[in-house]
């Protein structure tokens, strides 16, 4: 069965209100506490996904009674009122790190023989720190496979508790598991951390959930946790929406310059991943913190350096978003995510490179050096990692041809991710003052002129070649004996010159269709286009043309950025430099291939660095690399995207 998903770009700003599933981290902590409690607990807003299903099955095998209302995301759990008893039990944690690392210390508190195992991917993840801590407390356990990993067999006789030291530099889940089990130990547990923990907010979430179920946790300092012996008491608990999942939708707003609201989260949420919204704000987005929602409105994406040690599950989200930034984004403090479902740093560097994004691997993070001109679609591998799939899917919002392999791996924490993302796809119905302009920008030799003309035919819309206008002014200047580099004289001439562009180009009534495409004019067009006065004159004409016709396909170098920044559809058509040079060379009977390449490089430099309306990828524009596509394939792709946005 084909388990790959070809994504379709949004081609317009994402917009909507998102109701997310419950937090995996909150759900699994609450399920275990409920299972160990005295009485019946009621949990609402529960996440039903592979990781939480693993915990559900585990607590049932330990003797808890569970009644699940999946339709309404509710669960009732009648607990064990203490430590579990078991006999020759095998628990399969599947792929779930929280299930396995939360359960292991609880199993050590019970009595009987039990084997804790999981899928091969989970077996490869580290458990050594937690295993060592439990052995130091007197637990009899044996690694049946690789030392420091699953499967683990326990001959449990209960643990007295006491004091233990543990490092949380690999995962805070080791410490959370010990805290959750600590009330079951007759002497309780004093946990001393060896060095600062990673993902500290998750430890705070553990303490919060334990307190919800009637167990206190003391924190005399930032490296010590004291849990007295006691009993968990049944509770009614509302699970927060998943803040890690929210990061993808906040990023979608930023990438597309849209507006997305996630309900159920707020500034006081216990999940540290809500801080991703602060990162977006530093990058340029507008963030509104409501009493029961967070809303992100996208804008241009700046660069910066960000330490994500405390909310590392958003690191891949930020790395994908960084592909659309205006300058470098460096992510630090996340070296430990190499030992998650996969090596997440190496994985992101590899998959971003496939999509034309330069990313440099560092010991504790990565640096993304964006170049929007180089973005391209690719077949993306996910390594069985749900966060790889969800983060790399963000590139497809503005890049066609992105295929997510093994996309079903999102079921680990967010089975409905793709349908939820699709729910933000915008629809625009042109009416009133809304002008239905399809803005096609791009560098010379990218094929944008041919594409725009054919796209207009395909969509049955008017077509206007704005580049031909600047070429026409250059021709008019040379005809009049004016130096096109003389800004004042050329501006004055542009104001007086009548230019008519349709299938043919006329300058003051004289056909100049062939003349505007000569090498001499190609040499001058960038100079003319960089003239602020000429741009002022011609941009006004371009806006007037589109408004009078009610829209159309308009192509050039600043249509989406300056002429029609509010165009309902924006695309930046590009190609690899060598491809662009070959195309121009094939059209020329005079220049050598080397001369053509040099000329394109010169024009790119002038166009992209001019002070007035430089050639840039318009914010939110779809980036289409035509290097390996036929003209018709490009036209079909753009037409499909335009129709997906514009309602009839």
Within 10 angstroms of residue 437's Cβ, the number of other Cβ atoms is 28
Q: How far apart are CA 484 and CA 600, in angstroms?
A: 19
Q: Which residues of 538-548 are buried (b: 16+ CB within 10 A; e: fewer)?
A: bbeebeebbee
Q: Which residues of 252-286 are buried (b: 16+ CB within 10 A; e: fewer)?
A: bbbbbbbbbbbbbbeeebbbbbbbbbebbeebbbe
Rounded to 5°, angle at Cα 453 from 257 and 6: 50
Residue 355 is given by DSSP the state T
Cα torsion 84, 87, 92, 93 to 10°: value is: 20
Scanning 439-561, the segments in alpha helix (DSSP H) are 448-459, 466-479, 487-496, 519-529, 532-549
Instruction: Provide the residue count of the chain.
Output: 648
Kindly state the helix (H) or strand (E) to which residue 329 belongs, with its residue range. Answer: strand 329-332
User: Which residues are registered as beta bridge partners of 269?
Assistant: none
According to DSSP, the β-strands at 551-556 and 436-441 are parallel
Check if the beta carbon of residue 104 is closer than 8 Å to that of residue 177: yes
What is the DSSP annotation of 79-130?
--SSS-B-SSEEEE-TT-HHHHHHHHHHHHHSEEEEEEE--HHHHTS--HHH
Within 10 angstroms of residue 29's Cβ, the number of other Cβ atoms is 28
Task: Give helix 97-109 / helix 173-181 axis angle, nearest 10°.
Answer: 30
* SS3 of residue 40 by DSSP: strand
| Residue closest to 194 by CA, chosen among 220, 171, 173, 166 | 166
Q: Which residues are catalytic?
A: 313
Q: Within 13 Å, how many C-alpha atoms sit on residue 105's CB side?
A: 33
Q: How far apart are CA 419 and CA 410, in angstroms?
A: 12
Residue 628 is given by DSSP the state T
Residue 530 is given by DSSP the state T
């Amino acid at each position: 069965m084909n388990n790959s998903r070809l994504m379709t770009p949004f081609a317009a700003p994402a917009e909507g209100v998102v109701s997310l599933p419950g937090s995996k981290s909150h759900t699994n902590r609450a399920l275990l506490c409920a299972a160990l409690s005295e009485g019946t607990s009621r949990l609402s807003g529960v996440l039903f996904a592979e990781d939480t299903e693993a915990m559900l099955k585990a607590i049932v095998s330990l003797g808890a009674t569970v009644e699940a209302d999946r339709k309404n995301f509710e669960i009732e759990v009648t607990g064990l009122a203490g430590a579990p008893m078991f006999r020759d039990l095998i628990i399969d944690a599947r792929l779930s790190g929280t299930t396995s690392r939360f359960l292991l210390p609880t199993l050590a508190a019970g009595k009987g023989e039990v084997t804790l195992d999981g899928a091969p991917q989970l077996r490869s993840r580290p458990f050594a720190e937690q295993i060592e801590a439990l052995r130091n407390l007197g637990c009899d356990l044996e690694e049946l496979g690789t030392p420091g990993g699953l499967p683990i067999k326990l001959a449990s006789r209960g643990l007295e508790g006491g004091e233990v030291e543990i490092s949380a530099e690999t995962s805070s889940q080791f410490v959370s598991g010990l805290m959750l089990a600590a009330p079951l130990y007759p002497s309780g547990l004093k946990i001393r951390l060896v060095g600062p923990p990673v993902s500290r907010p998750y430890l705070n979430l553990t303490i919060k959930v334990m307190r919800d179920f009637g167990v206190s946790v003391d924190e005399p300092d930032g490296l010590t946790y004291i849990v007295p012996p006691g009993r968990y008491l049944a509770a009614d608990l509302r699970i927060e929406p998943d803040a890690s999942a929210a990061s993808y939708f906040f990023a979608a707003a930023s990438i597309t310059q849209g507006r997305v609201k996630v309900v159920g989260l707020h500034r006081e949420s216990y999940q540290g991943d809500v801080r991703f919204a602060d990162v977006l704000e530093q990058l340029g987005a507008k963030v509104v913190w409501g009493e029961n929602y967070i809303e992100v409105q996208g804008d241009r994406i700046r660069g910066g350096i960000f330490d994500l040690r405390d909310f590392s599950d958003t690191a891949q989200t930020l790395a994908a978003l960084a592909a659309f930034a205006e300058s470098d984004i460096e992510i630090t403090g996340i070296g430990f995510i190499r030992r998650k479902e996969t090596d997440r740093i190496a994985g992101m560097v590899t998959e971003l490179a496939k999509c034309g994004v330069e990313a440099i691997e560092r010991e504790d993070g990565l640096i993304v050096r964006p170049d929007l001109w180089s973005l391209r679609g690719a077949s993306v591998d996910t390594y069985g990692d749900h966060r790889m799939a969800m983060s790399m899917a963000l590139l497809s919002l503005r890049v066609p041809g992105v295929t997510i392999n093994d996309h079903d791996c999102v079921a680990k924490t967010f089975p409905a991710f793709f349908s939820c993302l699709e729910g933000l796809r915008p629809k625009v119905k042109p009416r009133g003052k809304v002008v239905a302009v399809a803005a096609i920008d791009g560098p010379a030799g990218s094929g944008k002129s041919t594409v725009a003309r054919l796209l207009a035919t395909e969509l049955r819309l008017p077509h206007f070649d704005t580049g031909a206008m600047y070429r026409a002014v250059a021709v008019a200047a040379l005809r009049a004996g004016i130096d096109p580099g003389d800004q004042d004289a050329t501006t004055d001439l542009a104001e007086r010159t009548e230019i008519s562009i349709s299938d043919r180009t006329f300058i003051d009534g004289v056909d100049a269709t062939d003349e505007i495409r000569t090498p001499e004019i190609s040499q001058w067009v960038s100079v003319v286009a960089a003239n602020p006065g000429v741009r002022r004159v011609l941009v006004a004409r371009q806006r007037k043309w589109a408004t009078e016709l009610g829209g159309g396909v308009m192509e050039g170098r600043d249509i989406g950025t300056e002429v029609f920044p509010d165009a309902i559809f924006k695309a930046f058509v590009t190609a690899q430099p060598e491809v662009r040079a070959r195309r121009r060379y094939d059209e020329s009977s005079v220049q050598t291939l080397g001369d053509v390449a040099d000329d394109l490089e010169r024009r790119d430099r002038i166009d992209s660095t001019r002070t007035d309306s430089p050639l840039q990828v318009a914010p939110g524009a779809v980036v289409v690399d035509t290097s390996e596509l036929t003209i018709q394939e490009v036209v079909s792709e753009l037409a499909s995207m335009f129709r997906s946005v514009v309602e009839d």
